[in-house]
Structure 1
Amino acid sequence: MTADTFAALVPLYNKEPYVARAITSILAQTRPVDEIIIVDDASTDGSIDQVTAFQDPRLRLLRRTDPKQRGLPATRNLGIQSATSRWIALLDADDSWHGDYIEEIEKLLTQATDRTGMLFTGFENIWSDGIVTQDSYSASCDDQRFTHLSLDRFVSDWLRIGGCPVIPSAVVLRRDMLLEAGLFKECCRRGEDKEMWLRLLSISDALASPRVCSSYYRAIPGQMQDSVTTNARHCVCATLEDMIARASGTRRRLLKRLFNMEVFEYARGVQQRERVSPEIYRGFFVSVEPQRYFVLLLLSYVPVPIQKLIRRFVLWTSGVIGLPNRRIGSRFR
């Protein structure tokens, strides 16, 4: 392994209309990747045909054929374990990279230290109506070139912008540190990426570029929010509780606030036809944010018709309980 080898890793499940776009964006990089690993998770459409149409010696197609063992974390883990490159560049099969993405990542590497385990860039959101918006984190960087982020700085920025600064399609991770951190949790159905970032940054640091180098396509049919409910405990909760128990001072306060925010976001994602399960906010730090806790109680115990009024006039109103004012409709992670 050398410090400048990159594997592009694309997990794939029933993305026939989009996966060719993702692979084409990998092949178009001004700094070519060293490996291209596509891991199919028992697709039932024509996704495999789209992949095999590409003839490139760097491309490997791995297949997980047991439909009972499907899952994005396990798919990514197989790709990571199979890679020989030092750096793993994730790309979802329905997203794409800009041509200079890996080139920008390589520039970030010039500022890396032995503790750097995560590199990421800005990205653009492409919405179903064709509107394109920049991600909140890179838009807030005030023309800074590169930013070093410890775990505390990362969580602080996460809280500041009201959402995770990183998405899988704009992040490159150091393979040995992923293995040390324990890879993606295969029991997670949603939020496995956020959970992984936290564990990885507990043993490493990150470097970020505000340059927009990736496209994140919103509202693609068959995305996770179509099939996995948010009316269940967030995957990240147990990890945050463990980190909080071992933390003190500023870090402990930041992690408590992050726990509350992620729990609240999951409650926001629950369909309006059902009450929020109290399991979602088990462990909520009430003394930190009593207003949000009161809203969660209302969403659990008042009749659904009244909940609609709460959502309209309180839950979705920016500033009343500290919610960011941003466009609704993202893929929940």
Structure 2
Amino acid sequence: MGVSVSAIIPVYNGEAFLQDAIESILQQTQRVSEIIIIDDGSKDKSFDIAVSISKSSLIPIKVFKQQNSGVSVARNLGLVKSSGDLVAFLDVDDIWMPTKIEKQLALYDELKSDEAFVFTDYYLDYENDTCRAFTGYSDYNVCTQSNFSKEDFQLAFIRRNFVGTASTVMFNRELALKIGGFNNRLNHSEDFDFILRYSQHGCVYAINEPLATKRSHGANLSGDLKLHFWSHYTALKSNIDLTSSFTRFNYRREVEYEMMLSHDMYLIRFCNQVYELSIKKGLKEYFKAILKMKTFRGLKEFSKAFIRKVIRTASFGVIKRT
């Protein structure tokens, strides 16, 4: 399969990680055609580092700078500025294993489908089997079957985002642009939203081998539970709205229900998290959420959670979080 691959790195204040990220691309056993770096208004030396490395790189490196607008806007600019048939994202604080691109392209060649979406297992901080992201989970297995429907994938994916990080994915650039790229309103759960929409048009496949390392540090957004719950709720609401407006993203009824149920559960989690940070603000969010519930099961779970919070509030702290 004679396709070209563009590697895209969005970066914001990533001077401590950028060189390692770029080196992991340059050391691939299967070369990419270009590296696109989008500096999202960094206040450190990220842009200068990228430009400096580009001057001596054997692979073309194109560096662009934008006002700080968030990761989704940066990724979308990367899609526009790249020219490859396929694109592969790498978060600036992550690294690729040397054979990542080679093994993903081998699967594309086997699939005979350039609109497929391929992701891989990855390491969490340390390169040993005990730190593999897929360990202990079986959800992703639906993507390793020889014959499965998009609904099979979507139902499993909505229940748990087993893709996990954009640093393992590879997909068709043109199709990504056709579906509108990443949601600019989201700086968290934007990958979940994008993959769900992409799966309406291209099958999603997994490689059960860790081909990237996701590194944790104090600046990671992934530790912000309030932001995570709200963003995931917003992503689900957006996709439910797409279905109700009868667009080309019109999901099957069973998938729509799973989205609505997950929507309700994430909204409850968001309210719970706000309550733990501020009782007054939390109760306000609960009252606002009542009319947003979309399923009977969600409403039941919401009622139980809300009643528990009312009782805790009335006890003046005597009853603790359970």
The alignment's TM-score, normalised by the length of structure 2, stands at 0.80
Per the TM alignment, residue 86 of structure 1 is displaced from its structure 2 partner at its CA by 0.7
Does residue 116 of the first structure (1) align with residue 115 of the second (2)? yes
SS in 1 for 2:320: helix
Contact 1:121 1:211 in 2 (8 A): yes
Which residue is equivalent to 2:72?
Answer: 73
- Which of 171, 174, 181 is matched with 1:173 structurally? 171
Per the TM alignment, residue 132 of structure 1 is displaced from its structure 2 partner at its CA by 5.5
**Higher helix proportion, which one?**
2
Greater Rg, structure 1 or structure 2? 2
Which residue is equivalent to 1:155?
Answer: 154
Aligned residue type for 2:98: G
Contact 1:9 1:88 in 2 (8 A): yes
- Which of 203, 217, 222 is matched with 2:219 structurally? 222
Q: 1:63-212 alignment to 2 at 5 Å?
A: 63-64=65-66, 66-67=67-68, 70-114=69-113, 116-126=115-125, 133-136=131-134, 139-140=137-138, 146-147=144-145, 150-159=149-158, 162-212=160-210
Contact 2:3 2:86 in 1 (8 A): yes
Which residue is equivalent to 1:322?
Answer: none
Can you list the C-alpha shifts for 1:205-256, whole angstroms capped at 9, x where unaligned?
Answer: 11211111111112x2222257895274633033232255344443333333
Which residue is equivalent to 1:50?
Answer: 49
Contact 1:122 1:209 in 2 (8 A): yes
Per the TM alignment, residue 159 of structure 1 is displaced from its structure 2 partner at its CA by 4.9
Can you list the C-alpha shifts for 1:275-333, whole angstroms capped at 9, x where unaligned?
Answer: 442356863334234553235425765539759933xx3xxxxxxxxxxxxxxxxxxxx
Q: Could you say if the C-alpha distance between residues 303 and 257 of structure 1 is closer, same or farther in structure 2, counting changes exceeding 3 Å?
A: same
Contact 2:124 2:213 in 1 (8 A): yes
Q: Could you say if the C-alpha distance between residues 48 and 115 of structure 1 is closer, same or farther in structure 2, counting changes exceeding 3 Å?
A: closer
- 1-side partners of 2:52 and 2:198: how far apart? 35
Q: Percent same amino acid among aligned pairs?
A: 19
Per the TM alignment, residue 192 of structure 1 is displaced from its structure 2 partner at its CA by 1.4
Does residue 260 of the first structure (1) align with residue 264 of the second (2)? yes
- 2-side partners of 1:307 and 1:212: how far apart? 47
RMSD over aligned Cα atoms: 3.4
- 2-side partners of 1:308 and 1:19: how far apart? 48
- 2-side partners of 1:84 and 1:206: how far apart? 22
- 1-side partners of 2:164 and 2:45: how far apart? 30
Q: Say how many residue pairs are matched.
A: 303
Aligned residue type for 1:198: L
- 2-side partners of 1:185 and 1:95: how far apart? 22
Q: Could you say if the C-alpha distance between residues 280 and 216 of structure 1 is closer, same or farther in structure 2, counting changes exceeding 3 Å?
A: farther
Which residue is equivalent to 1:36?
Answer: 35
- 2-side partners of 1:142 and 1:175: how far apart? 23
